[in-house]
């Protein structure tokens, strides 16, 4: 299931905590007496692509987690409430203590600043060379989060900054916008055309321990944790768009209700997109998706694991199948005998991804879909980026990779790209 294992005397494979990985740089962020922080930088010089991924807060394994969540809820989890997280592919996740609003803000600004700097460095860039930053976030700690971390990191003021709020699909929505010029509506800034040939950072930053701290949904509390990942690309050069599809399918039944902690009118107009695009400042664009929000005002409410399967698998398989057929048609037009070398799929949980793979196989579609995030839990928009960075050493110039993002709302961004 993961390359990140060690074998103890019992002979059972144990998942290493993220902070114990050999190349993770550990530090303490000076907020609220000190918050643990770890970051790992990875690059592939042959591709000209690198990046960084990170976690912050204490690492809790599946045995320790119920006690922590009992303290957060103010009552212990019953045996019936404790999920079998290992069969879902999760062994650790990162949580922070309860903080003040100012402490949350300072913590995540520092996390984001360090991630931007290290991701740029992994590409051999200095921050002042970066010309675009696109970040997916389910519940941003502040409306101007991307602008503020860019200012702290030394990104130029006139660099294009894009905040994407499409739940777990956020980073894939960001990557799709950076690569596919067909996504931008007529009359609005064409983000892909603007960024083509430029040095661009794309990622997801998810402070989900903060986001879920006021939640009462016991499944959500066990599944989600903090995580962030960011890569550097030069659209059209180091990463080239082949085919892709972006789909909206509103979650009528509220199978995964998520509060919108970002600007959105909340209006749903028949025949119009669920996504609102706004420009807060000359260099900042916001892409915000409508969510089915919890009626009680809490951050998140889930309809259970089978509800997640119903929500994501059927439409998710269809979107991937459509993109795969478009990919095959493109290869045929180009006269190439080429297939997808690797799939980077959002890690909602292992069972969902396994079922998607089985359903795709029935359609005659098969490609490697590695499962690599057992030491993080579900980190929403950060997961695709972390999974990609953990596979980047195995990708060769000329390889074709399919990115599969999906998230609450419901939103899907699937694209095939080539490298080098």
Interatomic CA distance for residues 50 and 66, integer angstroms = 36
Lowest mean pLDDT among 1-10, 21-30, 357-366: 1-10
pLDDT at 365: 96
Instruction: Give the domain CATH number at 346.
Output: 3.40.47.10
Contact between residue 135 and residue 204 where contact means Cβ atoms under 8 Å apart? yes
Q: What is the mean pLDDT of the chain?
A: 94
Kindly state the percentage of the chain with pLDDT values over 90: 91
Work out the average pLDDT over 118-138.
98
Residue with the larger pLDDT of the pair 186 and 226: 226
Lowest mean pLDDT among 94-103, 185-194, 310-319: 185-194
Residue 28 has pLDDT above 70, yes or no: yes
Query: CB under 8 Å to 6, separation ≥6 — which residues?
Result: 13, 14, 16
- The domain in which residue 53 lies consists of 5-419
Give the number of domains in the chain: 1
Residue 398 has pLDDT above 60, yes or no: yes
Residue 391 has pLDDT above 50, yes or no: yes
Work out the average pLDDT over 281-287.
94
CB neighbourhood size of 337 (10 A): 6
Residue 9 has pLDDT above 60, yes or no: no
pLDDT band for position 11 (50/70/90)? very low
Residue 2 has pLDDT above 70, yes or no: no
pLDDT band for position 5 (50/70/90)? very low
Interatomic CA distance for residues 54 and 356, integer angstroms = 27
pLDDT at 281: 87
pLDDT at 267: 94
pLDDT digit string (tens) for 325-374?
A: 999 999 999 999 999 999 999 999 999 999 999 999 999 999 999 877 89
Work out the average pLDDT over 203-210.
98
Listed residue (122, 126, 117) closest to 41, CA to CA: 122
pLDDT at 188: 86
pLDDT digit string (tens) for 212-248?
A: 999 999 999 999 999 999 999 999 999 999 999 999 9
pLDDT at 370: 87
Kindly state the percentage of the chain with pLDDT values over 70: 97
SS3 assignment, position 148:
helix
Interatomic CA distance for residues 357 and 36, integer angstroms = 36
């Amino acid at each position: 299931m993961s390359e990140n294992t060690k074998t103890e005397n019992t002979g059972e494979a144990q998942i290493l905590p993220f902070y114990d990985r050999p190349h993770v740089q550990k530090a303490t962020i000076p907020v609220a007496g000190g918050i643990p922080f770890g970051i790992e930088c990875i690059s592939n010089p042959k591709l000209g692509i690198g990046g960084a991924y990170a976690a912050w807060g204490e690492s809790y394994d599946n045995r320790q987690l119920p006690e922590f969540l009992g303290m957060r809820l103010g009552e212990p989890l019953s045996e019936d409430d404790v999920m079998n997280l290992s069969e879902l592919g999760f062994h650790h996740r990162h949580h922070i203590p309860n903080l003040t609003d100012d402490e949350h803000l300072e913590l995540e600004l520092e996390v984001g600043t360090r991630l931007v700097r290290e991701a740029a460095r992994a590409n051999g860039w200095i921050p002042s060379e970066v010309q675009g930053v696109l970040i997916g976030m389910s519940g941003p700690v502040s409306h101007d989060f991307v602008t503020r971390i860019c200012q702290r990191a030394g990104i130029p003021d006139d660099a294009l900054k894009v905040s994407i709020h499409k739940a777990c699909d956020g980073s894939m929505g960001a990557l799709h916008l950076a690569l596919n010029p067909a996504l931008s509506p007529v009359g609005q800034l064409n983000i892909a055309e603007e960024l083509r040939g430029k040095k661009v950072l794309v990622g997801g930053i998810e402070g989900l321990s903060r986001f879920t701290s006021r939640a009462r949904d016991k499944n959500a509390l066990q599944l989600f944790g903090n995580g962030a990942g960011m890569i550097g690309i030069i659209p059209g050069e180091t990463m080239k768009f082949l085919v892709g599809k972006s789909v909206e399918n509103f979650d009528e039944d509220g199978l995964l209700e998520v509060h919108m902690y970002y600007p959105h009118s909340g209006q749903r107009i028949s025949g119009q997109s669920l996504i609102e695009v706004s420009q807060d400042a000359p260099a900042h664009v916001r892409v915000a998706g409508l969510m089915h929000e919890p009626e009680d005002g809490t951050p998140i409410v889930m309809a259970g694991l089978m509800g997640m399967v119903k929500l994501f698998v059927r439409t998710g398989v269809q979107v991937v199948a459509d993109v795969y057929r478009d990919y095959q048609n493109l290869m045929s037009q180009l006269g190439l005998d080429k297939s997808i070398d690797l799939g980077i799929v959002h890690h909602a949980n292992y069972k969902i991804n396994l079922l998607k793979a089985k359903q795709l196989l029935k359609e005659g579609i098969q490609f490697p879909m590695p499962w690599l995030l057992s030491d993080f839990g579900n980190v929403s928009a950060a997961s695709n980026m972390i999974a990609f960075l953990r596979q980047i050493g195995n990708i060769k110039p000329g390889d074709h990779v399919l990115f599969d993002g999906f998230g609450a709302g419901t939103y899907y961004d699937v694209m095939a790209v080539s490298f080098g």
